[in-house]
Structure 1
Amino acid sequence: MRNELLVGIAVAVLALWELRNTPELHKHWPGAAA
């Protein structure tokens, strides 16, 4: 079992989700709100 891989994926998904939901970054990433 590769628990470290699963943890890495979970952290990456959570980080991307937080970034996607940050209004300040929408001006930097025009497609983030789509």
Structure 2
Amino acid sequence: MSKQKNSAPGIQKEKERKSNNSESKHIKKTHREG
């Protein structure tokens, strides 16, 4: 049970990292167009 609890935050962090990467990429693309 404790293993699952420890794994949950890791998955959330990975999801946040992925969304952050795609967001920064999107910002760079819009910056170029602008």
The two structures share one fold, judged by TM-score above 0.5: yes
Q: Which has the higher helix share?
A: 2
Deviating 4+ runs (over 3 angstroms): none
**Length-normalised TM-score, structure 2:** 0.62
The percentage of counterpart residues that share the same residue type is 4
TM-score norm. by structure 1 comes to 0.62
- Return the structure number with greater relative CO, CA threshold 8 A, min gap 6: 1
RMSD, matched Cα: 0.7
Bigger Rg, which one: 2
Q: How many residues align?
A: 24
